Structure 1
Amino acid sequence: MTAQLSEPVRAWRADPYADALRAGRGPLYLRRSDGWLLPLDVARWCAEPDEADATVLARCRGPVLDIGCGPGRMVAALARLGRPALGVDVMPAAVERTVRAGGSALCRSVFDPLPSEGRWGTVLLIDGNIGIGGDPVALLRRAARLTDPRGSLLVEVAAPDVDERVEVHLDDGDGAWGAPFPWARVGARALGVHAAEAGWSRAVAWEAADRRFVRLTR
């Protein structure tokens, strides 16, 4: 049986995102109905891991699951280090790029059944992926079910201390829009509140190259 795609999954398979990944660059934005735009750094996602990414890689322990892996720079970097890692992404073009870069990836939603549930040493939610599904608590609960009880969840948070739920479209800046889907933006303070509700008990924050991260454990 072939499962039907949810609307958020359909949206991320829309042409603006696929085209940007294939090109390895933007412009690409999340656009709110009031015209607010959030630039998506596709060129950085498609490049080699940068200084901030290196601080995330250094904190990875055990097998690593990268949720919303995009073009797979983190998964491929871990593979080159001989570390077991798997990416998951709803976008076929993202999975294809990850595999071409030398990583392993599955074309699935994080809410689909995944391999080794409850046994991942490190789970990643970077590049704004705490926003997936527009419900951070639900996503953090799902991540807890995926992570080994002794493992950790590494989350990239928004620079401002925000806590918002929005409906957005993908926009390539030239009039091409995808279908609307729910998204969230979460700062470190709000993440702490949501994480506690989802069963995470400890949080350690750090910053690197103007990006902000939090390590969650139980």
Structure 2
Amino acid sequence: MSIASFELVFGHALRGEECHLVPPDGRPLRLPVEDWTATPDRSDLALLAHCSGATLDIGCGPGRLTAELAARGQVVLGIDVVGEAVGQARSRGGSALVRDVFDRVPGEGRWQTVLLADGNIGIGGDPSGLLERVRQLLDPRGHVVVEVAGPGVPTRTVPVRLQCSCAQTGWFRWSVVGVDGVAALAASAGLALLGCYQHGVRWWAVLGETW
């Protein structure tokens, strides 16, 4: 199978091609693209209740959360490295840019909420480094809403690849952060854990600056 870029393979997934996340043990996990492209459900709305003021949605994907906040009249910007994702986010009514979070981002230091939903704390395989970058983007009085795995799930980083029927990516690092470890992770990035929340099987934490 040919090796292709993440942007290409994930773009295929967003256009409806079945795609799997493949860990080193070879047991593939199907990407839940239908959830990311659906109308926001009750757990999404519970998560978004913690997004106040101007919100930056990192790894916005096809934009269901970005578009929902925009429909409420909030200032919101989605960023994603995949052009197909950004195009879909815009088609849903959200503002979005093709942008890596570690590159220059509009409004640095002024975002009142930074959102890391759908496991996006795993971006880059370095959750502490990602949160340190988020601190640079955040207004000092703002907060981070980060979706995490449930109790008993250890925080870990593993090499993974995306695979669809026509191509696969090379290996890249991805992290999973469990709710049990989020306080220590926040502290490593100079943030405080302000609260942990649950809706159904989903968990998230709200982090803010330490004072």
TM-score, shorter chain, exceeding 0.5: yes
Aligned equivalent of 1:166, options 158, 164, 169: 158
1:199 maps to 190
Q: RMSD in angstroms over aligned alpha carbons?
A: 1.5
**Structure 1 position 19 matched with structure 2 position 12:** yes
Count of aligned pairs between the two proteins: 205
Shift of 1:175: 6.5
| CA distance in 2: counterparts of 1:33 and 1:97, whole angstroms | 31
Name the SS of the counterpart of 1:14 in structure 2. Answer: helix
Gapped regions of structure 1 (runs ≥ 5): 1-9
Contact 1:29–1:40 under 8 Å retained in 2:
yes
**Structure 1 position 68 matched with structure 2 position 59:** yes
| CA distance in 2: counterparts of 1:97 and 1:142, whole angstroms | 26
Shift of 1:29: 2.2
Any runs of at least 4 consecutive aligned residues in structure 1 with deviations exceeding 4 A, and if so which? none
Contact 2:54–2:74 under 8 Å retained in 1:
yes
Name the SS of the counterpart of 1:79 in structure 2. Answer: helix
Contact 1:65–1:86 under 8 Å retained in 2:
yes
Shift of 1:210: 0.9
**Structure 1 position 130 matched with structure 2 position 121:** yes
1:56 maps to 47
Aligned equivalent of 1:154, options 136, 145, 156: 145
Shift of 1:59: 1.2
Q: Give the TM-score taking structure 2 as reference length.
A: 0.92
Give 1:169's aligned amino acid.
R
Q: Give the TM-score taking structure 1 as reference length.
A: 0.89
Gapped regions of structure 2 (runs ≥ 5): none
1:7 maps to none
| CA distance in 2: counterparts of 1:11 and 1:136, whole angstroms | 22
Deviates more, 1:160-169 or 1:77-86: 160-169
| CA distance in 2: counterparts of 1:205 and 1:36, whole angstroms | 30
Name the SS of the counterpart of 2:15 in structure 1. Answer: helix
Shift of 1:39: 3.2
